[in-house]
Structure 1
């Protein structure tokens, strides 16, 4: 019982508060709506870093050049050639053949020698360890918390005939809106690891003189006979023939410039997020006289194209003429869009919501504050005639259901 009395007292207090806030000196037969000074917002662009700057390392390999070198592969040497003795016959009785000697060649011998040389010098190479990243995110407030006044429905047990009795106003909060942006942050920057690249050697064979050729003398005893005598006029001898040295051309790889690295700076990446910032807070309310017909749903005679939610130039002209002047007085309106029964319920619901949104977005683009606008789509749920699914109707009858309306409401 005490709880019931408390509820009645609360309702009476709310009704009394509302009654005291009614328009001063209202005129009979006229309609009034409560207008709230809207919050004034502005859009600001916030730049968010989505990927941190980092360094990228570019490596350049070692540079080489090929050189040729003339090397001795066989030393110069000599060869002995025997020049035989020259004889002459004489018709005398003498020693037929004098004692003499002959030379026997002892040939020289050759050997081989292995010569080693650096075919490729030692160097190093660089291996790039690329930068690694880790995921992150930043949460940005794009619309701060606010609040809006709402009037309750009339209490079911209210006995007053005054529609403003048994009601109360609530200042309901609207939570802030946030957006979370994914980020990629640098974990470990790029770097290099150096490893040794060993050179290598090659060798070639060189023929050398191990022992030079020589001669030895063999004695030939004289022969005597009373015959024709062959007399040696020129003794045997040797002559030296030069054998030139032999050469070959070899190639070897010489390091010109060792491997090196170059650091390239990769700049950070950013994205822009638009957030709403409160410039001036509204909330002050006043009463405004309006045409009573505007408190009921009024037709906006927009001819939507089939299955389209795009405003044509003619539709924008109708909104500019019929609805924009009403909103510029500061009142709030509810925009409702309906479809006929053709098509699925789901597609019709979606189409009606997109059409209502198209009207509200156009009004916002014309400078109307979003707090003055409410858009609703009802699809085919509120037909004005018999043309439901399965009923054959004319195009004119279907057009009656395919409508967009507006009405003035309290803020």
Structure 2
């Protein structure tokens, strides 16, 4: 029985928003874990234990503006070598443990200050029951990553998280989910922009009605307490959201997901209390034109806490993309994003920062996938930001190659 958990939104969208096509899709749905299938696909298995290693070379390529700055751009060649190991242990028919960790080394040819040893580790303990499941998890991550569309830099950031998730199916069609999370984010100081560290404690509840295959209405409520650290002054904020939405089964030829709600942000800005009730919209539509060709589009509008100052901005972005499965092994994908970040006067300490930034991003990938072991991807990406502040205007071009081996 499929147990569905619709998109967790607040942390992913309000605190770290970027050009990631997966955030437009309702494909990031938590189904009930299928432990037997995961064990069967493990590279090494002994009874109720399984290990699955992955070796990869990632982001091997060239970039003409690493820090995405208008003047004196830094260009370089870079690559990342990564080893990942997934372990699974089933203690009984109901309880199992899963860990997923990686070690990687980032190499830069000319600017070695961006390179170094990084990694991540995620731990999860699951309890499976007839009409639901419970999950306890904790994670650690230290990597170069772009935190939002405000900047296209990739600062070194360390994140820690933990949480508990409970799902239960009431009757035949009513799904209830409750999730509590803790999340911390720290940026390395002194290399790129001075970004704001963050801590977040949140709780989310979800109700889904699945009476009809092609129309599943849902209600989502959430609340987050956020602490920000800066050189100017610490800041505390509260974020609450109520949203209604509907979607259909992801397996349909035409898939849609729509969500509308209100996000309330409350915090202190320059000794004044700021309260903003912002409309939140999320929409996604995909359609299989033929067996091999699919099209997709999406729209997202929401308030986003700034990672570089003490205010927030309204972000709007549109996705248009196509996916062509050329044959069993080859796939071609093209995505384009168009967006704006609007900084209002009442949400900025410095009036010189009041503005609207426009940005554009496009990414083309060609993927070769051998179902047995190998996956190779070459990607071309361009990014552009236009702003009334000349220092914030920039262009960027990236080309990269990825090779993944899973024995």
Give the TM interval when normalised to the shorter protein: under 0.3
Computing the radius of gyration over CA atoms, which structure comes out larger, 1 or 2? Answer: 1
Question: TM-score, length-normalised on structure 2?
Answer: 0.17
Richer in strand (by share): 2
Question: TM-score, length-normalised on structure 1?
Answer: 0.17
Richer in helix (by share): 1
Structure ranking higher on relative contact order (CA contacts 8 Å, 6+ apart)? 1
